[in-house]
Chain A
């Protein structure tokens, strides 16, 4: 069974479009995350979220927003896509409180977003 899954695996779209990436975890964790990995392989946290708290990295444009329909899902919505949004986006989950980093994070396989 896949612990953390993401869809789609690849996403190619044009500038200005709005898109969503879905994430699901079956680990029963309380906290989920979104990370962006750029072409240099730098990993940057975008959001950490549980049902009590959302921690936003202040460098993330407000075109990006996390939406959680339930504890097992955290989707990433991106409005007005820009060329610089091209990257691999990883979802992760842990049993931590949001943004704490005390426990192991389990990562999904990533979604490669290409904006043309």
Chain B
């Protein structure tokens, strides 16, 4: 079965750049890759979205290689408030169905 995979957890010190990679081997053609942030007891919140190459906004950058089978969320100079779970979302074309699929989430812990 097609899967969207990402590391379970990551630790980082404050002020460092953090890169979280998501693997989505069966991403549907023409579909976008979206990243969400979730704090405890809250719903996920949109961070960034892209289709190919690089996208940057005021909080993050998203790098997508030409084959689009993976994507990397980059958080510059993280702070304690960036401690959260980060999810990638794609539309998976595996098994003949096109299903919105979240990765299992990467728990980022920022250390003072």
Contacts and interface: CB of A to CB of B under 8 A. Distances in A.
Interface residues of B, number: 26
B contact face: mostly helix, strand, loop, or mixed: strand
B43 A45 contact: no
A104 interface: yes
Contacts of A110: 41-43
A102 interface: yes
Contacts of B99: 45, 57, 99
Interface string A40-53: 11111100100000
A1 to B, nearest CB: 16
B43 to A, nearest CB: 3
Contacts of A45: 99-102
Interface residues of A, number: 24
Contacts of A104: 34, 46, 49
Given A41-B105, A45-B99, A58-B97, A101 B41 contact: no
Interface in B47-94: 49, 85, 87, 89-91
B105 A101 contact: no
A47 B102 CA distance: 14
A48 B100 contact: yes
Given A58-B97, A101-B90, A104-B49, 16 more contacts: A41-B105, A43-B44, A44-B102, A45-B99, A45-B100, A48-B100, A90-B44, A99-B91, A99-B98, A101-B91, A102-B31, A104-B46, A105-B46, A107-B45, A109-B42, A110-B41
30 contacts: A4-B43, A33-B100, A40-B104, A41-B85, A41-B104, A42-B105, A43-B87, A45-B100, A45-B101, A45-B102, A48-B100, A90-B44, A99-B91, A99-B98, A100-B91, A101-B31, A101-B32, A101-B34, A101-B89, A101-B90, A102-B31, A104-B34, A104-B46, A105-B34, A105-B44, A106-B46, A109-B42, A109-B43, A110-B42, A110-B43
